[in-house]
Structures are given as structure tokens and as C-alpha cells.
Amino acid sequence: MKKSGVINSEVSAVISNLGHMDWLSIGDAGMPCPLTTKKIDLAVSRQLPSFIDVLTNVLTEMEVEKIYLAEEIKTINPDQLAQIKKVLPGIEIVFVPHSQLKQDLNKTHAFIRTGEMSPYSNIILQSGVTF
């Protein structure tokens, strides 16, 4: 049995299969997931698990070089933006319209759905390399 890091087998497998510049997305309970994108549904109930808890857990095993966020998070959910910046210090942030972020989910290896219930709590992580 795995003792630390990401213990969800589906999430761990997706992270293990990522190459440089591949995308993985994490989002709130309301984010629509394209039928062509693998959905890993972790949502149990309202706020369980939270977006930031899942993101923090994923970051224990994933090297990230860039992130994509909805432009709207700046004004609608600045507290969540501050938390994202805290757990990903120094990482390049690209802001796109929320409608574009939803379309870009088609390009991700998987979408991890959380129980988060705050607006624009969605992110696309671009995989980096460790060497």
C-alpha cells in the first residue's frame, strides 16, 4: 500500500503518465467536464474535499511549470487566487476567459472534480520536468 503523497489510484496513475507540457485539470463541483476527458470525481459533499486541498495533494507528486486560470477569478474569487499563488509560488500564471478554460479541458489528460463550491475554482496545470 502506498504510504504518502497521492493515494487515490486514479489520480496517481494520471500524474505518473504525464510528460513534459501535458495538462491536468482540477476544478470545482460545478465545472462541466467534456465527455472526451477522463473525469476523476472526488466530490463527497459540499466543500469536501476542497479545491485547495486537492491541489496541494497533487502538487506533492507533480512538477508544474505553468498554470492556467480563469480571468474572472481575479475579481470574483480573489481569496482562492491568493491561496493558489501561495501553494504555487513563482509559477507562471496565464489568465484566460472562463469560457476558454472550459474549452481547454478537452486538451487535459483528466479533470479532477472536487467538492469545492466557490466560483472559478478551476485550474489547468502544465507539467514540468524534474531535470
Annotated catalytic residue: which of 7, 16, 20, 60?
Answer: 20
122 annotated as belonging to a binding site for a ligand:
yes
- Is 121 within any annotated ligand binding site? yes
What does DSSP assign to residue 17? T
Dmax over CA atoms of the chain, in Å, equals 43
Q: Verify whether residue 20 is a known catalytic residue.
A: yes
* Host H or E run for residue 9: helix 9-16
One-letter-per-residue 3-state SS of 54-68: HHHHHCCCCCEEEEE
109 is in an annotated binding site: no
Residues tagged in the binding site annotation for substrate: 28, 98, 120-122
- Point out the residues that are catalytic: 20
Name the binding residues.
28, 98, 120-122
